Structure 1
Amino acid sequence: MHNLPRILLSVESSRGFGRDLLTGISDFTRMYNPWTTYRKPPFFRYGNVDKFDFDTIKNDLEGIITRIPEEIPVIQELGIPAIVATVLLPPGFKLDPHYPTITSNNEAIAQVAMDYFISQGFSNVAYCGFGDVSWSLQRREALKVYAKELGYEILCYDPPSESSWEEDIQIIGDWLKVLPKPVAVLACSDDRGEDIIQAAKLSRVRIPEEVAVLGIDDDNLICNLSNPTLSSIVLNTQKTGFQAAELLNRLINGEETMTGQRLLLQPLYVEARQSTDILAIEDPEVACALGFIRQKAREAIQVQDVVDATGISRRVLESRFRKNLNRSVLQEIRSVRVKTIARMVCETNMSIKSIAISLGFTSIDHISRYFKKEKGISLHQYRQKYGQI
């Protein structure tokens, strides 16, 4: 009987990102059964094992997917197909550019964050990350660049070079107190979002009334342990895990060589929770209209329905929309509807016909044209590119 290739999956499962990545990989292995896998043993079996003893297994390995920075130099020496799922590298170490990597599309993440904050009516936007972590700095710069294109300035938290967690929380709290209010803060990750919420509590800053907080990764455990619960940007991590497994399988079989392929984690949508559950709009009629549009996102409402819900004239409402949001009522209806379609396409296995019916569209052609006009991509292409497995 032919022995299946043995693969090392050196990916932590204590965070949602790692679990989602492993889920995507397991989806591939269940579908095609191409390998047997090694994983780090649990701590209660062999103590607190931080990394593998490669000497005991290296002769059996034919491929690796790793997210552990300290293991990368050893993996590179083995010279077997490997995919690196981290941008963090040991000090002074340079990764061979031929190795495939999994990285975030930080420009797209910045766009999703800013567009969400603007849709909530925020004119003040801030960023809180880590000063010594490369991907956090990359996300900050991407947000600043995109915000500048839209005419916004990002207020950035500058963490001290050396401080304890308690000191850092205190400094974040002091920073939150002096930010102009109301303000929306993008955290570099869900963990950082949790820090911001903790700092706000200690500094008596109200969330979301004064500070709205948005994380990245949508780690359900962290987001729901936070109080208030943390809104977060969902990434297509599970899909990327599947794609990484596909690529590794091709590399092992000699169908492809390592040429520095990049697998990009794409943002899908914002999973809104209590930390951003507010509209930062002073105009009560505009706030009422926005609430109505979102409440009716699954219905085929018209501009006149929104006008009727506010009790003011269409001309006045359109004028106030332009003043507060720089867009029309119809543009807001279409934007909210398209986001709802996109989420259903990504999150569910529903057919396009079923999605169309559930959202009040008259046909597949109708919903397809509606979606493509806003997104510039067909529903089928969008599901292929961003849909979870």
Structure 2
Amino acid sequence: MTAKKRNGYQVALLFKARGSYGREIIAGVCDYVKSTRAVWDMLLHEDFRDSVAGISDWSGNGIIADFDDPDFVTALSEVSIPVIGVGGSYHRNADYPRNFPYVATDNEKLVTEAYTHLVDMGLPRFAFYGLPETRSYRWSEEREKAYLKLCARDRAKPEIFKGQGTFGPDWDEILADVIAWLKGLPKPIGVIAVTDSRARHILQACILADIAVPEQVSIVGIDDDPLLRMLTRIPISSVRQGTRSMGRTAAAMLHRRLIGATLDETRVIIPPEGLNAQMSSRYQPIYDPYVMRARHFIRQFAGQGIKVAQVAAYVGVSRTTLETHFRRAFGYTVHDDMLAYRLQTAQKLLMDLGLPLERVAELSGFTSNQYMHTVFKRELGCSPREYQRNTVAR
């Protein structure tokens, strides 16, 4: 049993919490501590400043660390206090860390979830946007292996692009490389990005290269990071990792070690929690280039209250011509398509109970709250507030 401090245990959480992955694991640890009588004084990676090289001399009681970071693994190899590793799953059993209890996100299932969604959307081809091979990106290599395994199963031609690392020299140069890759791909195609950050690269490149999303390129990321979703013109579909569950599981394992109990399992693999399907992957086969370009523009700017004339100007045809193409493709008008997209956006925004209706209307591209109310009544048979109550109640 580890000697308890006077006011409980002192535990270090070694995660570089720049993205949602580390933050959500830490949140899961906090969930566990709050649900028990455990008293933990928790320190974060930032509390150790720039290096954890001297952590073997630290007088704390236990550590939960990101084992996807090779620097942490090296630094913790000589530590005598209980350590729980958290990281990605591996195809080979020999690649798992030895002598440490370990909680992993299921990399193979994460990619399978994204791939299956794109198959269900009717995409005929699939590509993978990963990361360069380095010691720090072994989890990316595992996700790439999962993609290759799925392609081999379905006898599909793999299309892989690793691009530059996350600390590439120039944003424009990174995007230029992605654009060149995308232009050379057969279309339509579904792209699985190894993270939401890489999914944003794909979306930005498509916008700059005038490649329609999702009609020509459908995109699915991994992480379901709400902040990154807010930064994109077209909401990105993403697979949710079970990060909070990983944090809770790791905390429970460490707690047992701290009180001297044995572990029922020394390795736990946590599956994904589903896929948040957004507009970036809702592929519908469309072969009319005018309609494809128009919908690409609508997906980006419908929330800004654009008019049909602006859509026609972007496509480069008259409003009458564009309306003819829409009626031929769908049986309805450009305005109907914009209105449907605004309605979908409002429905999603209403899930946030903190947003006033006026703000929901504004963000959705409706000219007023009253107009949004009229559209909801006509199309859904209820007011926005009634829709919100009914949806949240379920």
Q: TM-score range by the shorter chain?
A: 0.5 to 0.7
In the TM superposition, residue 279 of structure 1 has moved relative to its aligned partner by 2.5
In the TM superposition, residue 199 of structure 1 has moved relative to its aligned partner by 1.8
2:121 corresponds to: 120
CA distance in 2, matches of 1:95, 1:111: 21
2:111 corresponds to: 110
Q: Give a deviation string over 1:22-48, Cα, whole Å, max 9, x none.
A: 111111100113132332386xxx9x9
Tell me if 1:276 matches 2:275: no
In the TM superposition, residue 187 of structure 1 has moved relative to its aligned partner by 0.2
1:27 corresponds to: 31
* Residue from 138, 143, 150 that aligns with 1:146: 150
CA distance in 1, matches of 2:286, 2:27: 40
CA distance in 2, matches of 1:109, 1:86: 13
In the TM superposition, residue 165 of structure 1 has moved relative to its aligned partner by 4.2
1:171 corresponds to: 177
Q: Give the share of equivalent positions with the same residue, in percent.
A: 24
In the TM superposition, residue 10 of structure 1 has moved relative to its aligned partner by 1.7
Specify the SS of the correspondent of 1:173: helix
Tell me if 1:244 matches 2:250: yes
Specify the SS of the correspondent of 2:175: helix
Specify the SS of the correspondent of 1:238: helix
2:237 corresponds to: 231
Specify the SS of the correspondent of 1:85: strand
In the superposition, relative to structure 1, how do residues 95 and 122 fare at CA in structure 2: closer, same or farther (>3 Å)?
closer
Q: Give a deviation string over 1:316-364, Cα, whole Å, max 9, x none.
A: xxxxxxxxxxxxxxxxxxxxxxxxxxxxxxxxxxxxxxxxxxxxxxxxx
CA distance in 2, matches of 1:109, 1:227: 24
State the superposition RMSD in angstroms.
Answer: 2.9
CA distance in 2, matches of 1:233, 1:96: 25
Q: TM-score, normalized by length of structure 2?
A: 0.62
- Unaligned ranges ≥5, structure 2: 90-94, 288-394
2:223 corresponds to: 217
1:181 corresponds to: 187
In the TM superposition, residue 216 of structure 1 has moved relative to its aligned partner by 0.4
Q: TM-score, normalized by length of structure 1?
A: 0.63
Contact persistence 1:100–1:258 (CA under 8 A): no
Amino acid at match of 1:65: I
CA distance in 2, matches of 1:34, 1:51: 28
Contact persistence 1:144–1:153 (CA under 8 A): no
1:312-323 equivalence runs, <5 A: none
CA distance in 2, matches of 1:20, 1:237: 6
Tell me if 1:201 matches 2:201: no
Specify the SS of the correspondent of 1:99: coil
Specify the SS of the correspondent of 2:61: strand
CA distance in 2, matches of 1:153, 1:55: 47
1:50 corresponds to: 50
In the superposition, relative to structure 1, how do residues 74 and 258 fare at CA in structure 2: closer, same or farther (>3 Å)?
farther
In the TM superposition, residue 258 of structure 1 has moved relative to its aligned partner by 10
Amino acid at match of 2:24: D
CA distance in 1, matches of 2:206, 2:30: 39
In the superposition, relative to structure 1, how do residues 69 and 170 fare at CA in structure 2: closer, same or farther (>3 Å)?
same
2:63 corresponds to: 64
In the TM superposition, residue 230 of structure 1 has moved relative to its aligned partner by 1.2
In the superposition, relative to structure 1, how do residues 267 and 80 fare at CA in structure 2: closer, same or farther (>3 Å)?
same
Specify the SS of the correspondent of 1:79: coil
